[in-house]
Amino acid sequence: MEKTLYFEGAGWADCDTSKATDVQNCRIRTAFHNDKGEAIYLEMTSCEVTKRSANYLKSYRYAGFVDSCHYILGDDDENKHSIYNRNAKTFEYTKANILSFVNSLGCSFDKVETLPDLAGYRVFKDHDGYNFGDEFIYNAELTARAQEIEAHFHAPEKSEGKQYPNFSLWVDNEDKGMLHLLRHFPNLNRHWTIRSDVENWQETVTETILGRYAC
């Protein structure tokens, strides 16, 4: 069985830089354990190299940077536990190079993957702590249904000529079979929960009080 490290896509997946590389997002982050059991947080960013870029980047097409890399020791002191200083590591922004870097930290992963937004992996918990990308169980079928639900709510807005939807949809941090739908109206936000782990998800749409975002 392949040992996979999952990353959260923390940037805009539809921007040109995200779509130009096999990483599929211009900014990624994760938390994981190396082979010694040490917990590590890692965040990487990228940019397209142009004529105006610094000379040290000219050998790259899309330059990747280690924005943050530190041991997780419970006190959230990134500077004290830093493994790499910000932007100290530069590389061509590819999955192969990211895998090589991760494994240089004492790991033995077979591959890395950036998950889509509705896969439900977010590195930071709602309150304190981390969700670990080497422990996350990716459910492709559940993700596909969540994306279908997103398309369902986006369709009427697209028919009105809106390029971007006027709502937010995300996976619950604890219950991966639950979606949160936040719709934005003038001077009002409304919130629903939806079960994405059943085929007749339309019957599960329930308006609820979220307790934040004014709804």
More confident residue, 23 or 185: 23
| Average pLDDT of the residues in 193-215 | 92
Based on the fold, state whether residues 146 and 177 are members of the same structural domain.
yes
Task: Report residue 92's pLDDT band, with 50, 70 and 90 as the boundaries.
Answer: very high
Q: What was the pLDDT predicted at 148?
A: 96
Tell me whether residue 38 is in a domain.
yes
Tell me whether residue 135 is in a domain.
no
Residue 145, burial from CB neighbour count under 10 angstroms (0-12, 13-18, 19+): buried
pTM for the structure as a whole: 0.90
Based on the fold, state whether residues 167 and 103 are members of the same structural domain.
no
Q: State the chain's mean pLDDT as an integer.
A: 92
Count up the domains in the chain and report the number: 2
Tell me whether residue 128 is in a domain.
no
Based on the fold, state whether residues 71 and 152 are members of the same structural domain.
no
Tell me whether residue 9 is in a domain.
yes
Tell me the DSSP string of 47-115: EE--TTS-GGGTT-SEEEEEEEEEE--SS--TTTTEEE-TT--EEE--HHHHHHHHHTTT---SEEEEE
Q: pLDDT (tens digit, 9 = 90+) per residue, 106-163?
A: 999 999 999 999 999 999 998 889 999 999 999 999 999 999 999 999 998 888 877 7
Based on the fold, state whether residues 115 and 145 are members of the same structural domain.
no
Tell me whether residue 125 is in a domain.
no
Based on the fold, state whether residues 94 and 64 are members of the same structural domain.
yes
Based on the fold, state whether residues 108 and 17 are members of the same structural domain.
yes
Tell me whether residue 214 is in a domain.
no
Based on the fold, state whether residues 16 and 69 are members of the same structural domain.
yes
Tell me whether residue 176 is in a domain.
yes
Q: pLDDT (tens digit, 9 = 90+) per residue, 49-69?
A: 998 888 888 899 999 999 999
Based on the fold, state whether residues 49 and 91 are members of the same structural domain.
yes
- β-strand pairing of 111-115 with 4-9: parallel
Lowest mean pLDDT of 14-18, 87-91, 149-153, 182-186, name the range.
87-91
Tell me whether residue 213 is in a domain.
no
| Average pLDDT of the residues in 74-97 | 81
Containing structural domain, residue 148: 140-207
Q: What was the pLDDT predicted at 215?
A: 80
CA 25 to CA 17: how far, in whole Å? 7
